[in-house]
Structure 1
Amino acid sequence: MKQGPIGIFDSGYGGLTVLKEIISELPEYDYLYLGDNARAPYGTRSYETVYQYTLECVKQLFDMGCQLVILACNTSSAKALRTIQQNDLPGIDPSRRVLGIIRPSAEVIGDYTSTGHIGILATPGTVASDSYLMEIRKFFPRLKVFQEACPMWVSLVENNEHYNPGANYFVQKHMDNLLKKSSYIDVILMACTHYPLLINKIKQFLPGGVRVLDQGRIVAKSLADYLKRHPEMETLCSKNRRYQFYTTNSTETFERQGSAFFGQPVHARHLDI
């Protein structure tokens, strides 16, 4: 089999915060990022629609040479990953792999808490899916998990309003809501890839001693561990330090918005799906 880049998929820009951390952890590999911006957001769409869109993009990444694809999108990981892994991959190519970002977070989150009370900040779609509750229960059945849906936060970030004082109201509102659910929460997971851009505001409204976890860093370390444990897949990932970016929408908009998520300029190509 031919070597290829590691595919990173998201419905929009948020997955760039995950890719940024993956590159920091594993800089030697090639990466191909695909943002389905033309059909974003996925969070308000049905399970069937999210599954269909995600599958189309995974197939596109396979066609572009990726042997391994990471769904750097909580909505796709919650609503499409398992079906793709169990039903589609065996027919497409059983040697290829598709991984998500919910399980890696669930596997380790219990290691960060002393009280056993953790908070989850996420989009309404991710909260409604209960994916984090189900995954965390598999690894840490005694943890008490409190979720808070933050419907305005993605819009704040994508409209570049997250730096403005007006964003404080929406951040404080949801932080207060979460902490009212349990005063023992000592760890909070940002379970949306947009939320790292709000980290400074989130910390403003937290009491001392509460730790905020960046999902991208957890996923990056999990991927490094996965490649060590699966040398048959690691050898299929090319290593030329090449990073490619594709979007299903405007390249100009993607480059302007994407640079804020990635932390440096990005140069994108358009792709029709």
Structure 2
Amino acid sequence: MKDRTVGGRLFDIVNITALILFAVLAMLPFLYIVFNSFLSSEEFARRGVVFFPKKFSLDAYMYIFSTNTIVRSLLNTIFITLAGTAINIIFTSLMAYPLSRKELHGRKSIMLLIIFSMLFSGGMIPAFLVVKALGLMNSLWALLLPGAISAFNLIILKNFFQQMPDGIEEAAKIDGCNDIGILIKIVLPLSLPAIATFSLFYAVGHWNSFFTAILYINDTAKWPIQILLRQVVIMAEGGIGDASQMSESLAIPAQSVKMAVITVSTLPILIVYPFLQKHFAKGVLLGSVKG
């Protein structure tokens, strides 16, 4: 391999420098939130909100965890994310695989209906009436079942399945494997990059979703973390903790409480991302080559 030219090396240096700067700029807002969540009452009284506190304090975290409110909301969100992602992947796979088979009669008509649903929807009020008629109001299932399948993800996964060699499935049928067995034992194991990618898409969507919970959940005990975060941001501390349990009598800055809740609600999904990141780009590109 020939040595890089001076121009090529200079181009690499400029690119790397620019990417590092963009990465730092992207991280600054999150670092600002994390650092201010450790802001102490004394420093807030002297300096106000700062980017980097001189002294770190856990008062805000002790306050928000002094009751089970945030833990309960986190558990609700974890259940919604895990159960919702499992439902999404199961239903999307079960629908995408038959549509990827050319021998399925009427699959073009079904695909037209799916594409139509991407462009037009019944709207919020009809969706609310359907959820109410099904008896799902004030239930966590109201956040899971209505959005069981994403039309966009379905189309990409269908295209991914279509790219698999027909010979693999034909060999499995010769060995006596039925369609469900082919899907579970052959197609899905070979589709792990795509499954991991769409699992991440669905999981992030469930973790960040709050509007459907506002519509369908009235019981505060069933609130996901994003609804609790919204209440804290709108109503300052929002009664999330018990100030009488704190060792110090100093008032905890509302800004620190907000930042602490944002940090707690963001970190779990950030921790999950690195485990799926290696499949992320590969899964999307493989399913978007042909229709």
Higher RCO (CA 8 Å, separation ≥ 6 residues): 2
Instruction: Select the structure that is richer in strand.
Output: 1
TM bin (shorter chain) = under 0.3
Which is higher, the Rg of structure 1 or of structure 2? 2
